[in-house]
Amino acid sequence: MKISITKENKENKKGTKAVKIILCILFMLGVMFTIFTQWSNFTYGPVSGDQMLINLTSPTDGTDSGIYVSALTKALLPSVIITILFVLFVFLRFKIVLNFKNYSAIVYNENIRKTFSVFLSLAVFFGGLVYGINDFKLYDLYKAYFVKSSFIEENYVEPKETKLIFPEKKRNVIYIYLESMENSYMSKDLGGMEEINLIPKLTQLANEGYSFSDTDNKFGGPKTPVGSQWSLASMTNQMTGLPMKVPGDYNSYGSSGNFLPGAWTFGDVLNNEGYEQTVMVGANAKFGGLEYLFSSHGNYKVMDYNYAIENGLLPNNYKQFWGFEDDKLYKFAKDEITRLYNTGKPFNMTLETADTHTPGYVSPQIENVFNNQYANAIYYSQNEVYKFVQWIKQQPFYENTTIILIGDHLSMCSDFFKNVNKNYNRTQYNLIINPSPELEISKTCFNNRIWSNYDMYPTVLAAMGVKIDGNRLALGTNLFSNEPTVFEQYGYDYVNKELAKKSVFFNDKILSPNGEKVSLRSSKENEKYE
Domain match, 301 and 326 both: yes
End-to-end CA gap in the chain:
87
pLDDT higher than 80, residue 518: no
pLDDT at 265: 96
| Dihedral sign of CA atoms 243, 355, 377, 373 in order | positive
Domain match, 457 and 311 both: yes
pTM, to two decimals: 0.80
The secondary structure of residue 4, as a DSSP letter, is E
Q: What is the mean pLDDT of the chain?
A: 85
pLDDT higher than 80, residue 489: yes
**Section 166-177 average pLDDT:** 97
Spacing of C-alpha 348 from chain mean position: 23
Domain match, 162 and 105 both: no
Domain match, 87 and 190 both: no
Domain assignment present for 228: yes
Domain assignment present for 527: no
Contact 197, 187 (CB under 8 A): yes
Q: Is 349 helix (H, G, I), strand (E, B) or coil?
A: strand
CA distance 421 to 199: 20
pLDDT higher than 80, residue 252: no
CATH number at residue 322: 3.40.720.10
pLDDT at 74: 83
Domain assignment present for 529: no
Return the closest-CA partner of residue 197 out of 182, 181, 186. Answer: 186
Q: What are phi and psi of 352, to 5 degrees?
A: -130, 125
Q: Number of folded domains in the chain? A: 2
Strands 467-468 and 164-165: antiparallel
Domain assignment present for 524: no
pLDDT at 62: 53
Return the closest-CA partner of residue 304 out of 274, 336, 276, 275. Answer: 336
The DSSP code sequence of 425-481 is: ---B-EEEES--TT----TTSSSS---BGGGHHHHHHHHTT-EEGGGEEBTEE-TTS
pLDDT at 459: 98
Domain assignment present for 525: no
Task: For Cα atoms 401, 407, 413, give the angle at the middle one, nearest 5 degrees.
Answer: 155
pLDDT at 193: 93
Of 145, 164, 188, at which residue does a domain stop? 145
The 10s digit of each residue's pLDDT in 361-405 is: 888 878 888 999 999 999 999 999 999 999 999 999 999 999 999
**Section 341-369 average pLDDT:** 91
Domain match, 389 and 295 both: yes
Domain assignment present for 364: yes
Higher pLDDT, 284 or 222: 222
pLDDT at 46: 61
The 10s digit of each residue's pLDDT in 197-234 is: 999 999 999 988 999 999 998 899 999 998 888 888 99
CA distance 471 to 476: 9
Of 145, 168, 187, at which residue does a domain stop? 145
Orientation angle between helical segments 49-56 and 138-146, nearest 10 degrees: 70
Domain match, 412 and 289 both: yes
Domain match, 56 and 32 both: yes
Domain that holds residue 306: 147-517
CA distance 253 to 59: 9
Q: What percent of the chain has pLDDT over 90?
A: 50
pLDDT at 449: 95
pLDDT bin (cut points 50, 70, 90) of residue 249 is very low
Domain match, 235 and 136 both: no
CA distance 262 to 516: 10
Amino acid at 358: T
CA distance 158 to 83: 53
Domain match, 392 and 447 both: yes
Of 145, 170, 186, at which residue does a domain stop? 145
Domain assignment present for 209: yes
Return the closest-CA partner of residue 480 out of 493, 496, 467. Answer: 467
Contact 411, 358 (CB under 8 A): yes
Contact 172, 274 (CB under 8 A): no
Domain match, 136 and 262 both: no
**Section 406-434 average pLDDT:** 91
Domain assignment present for 133: yes
Domain match, 310 and 372 both: yes
pLDDT higher than 70, residue 513: no
Task: For Cα atoms 241, 60, 321, give the angle at the middle one, nearest 5 degrees.
Answer: 100
Domain match, 100 and 236 both: no
Helices (H), 262-325: 266-272, 290-296, 305-310
* Helix and strand totals (H; E) in the chain: 18, 13
Contact 219, 213 (CB under 8 A): yes
The 10s digit of each residue's pLDDT in 30-85 is: 888 888 887 776 666 666 656 655 655 555 555 556 667 777 888 888 889 999 98
**Section 458-475 average pLDDT:** 97
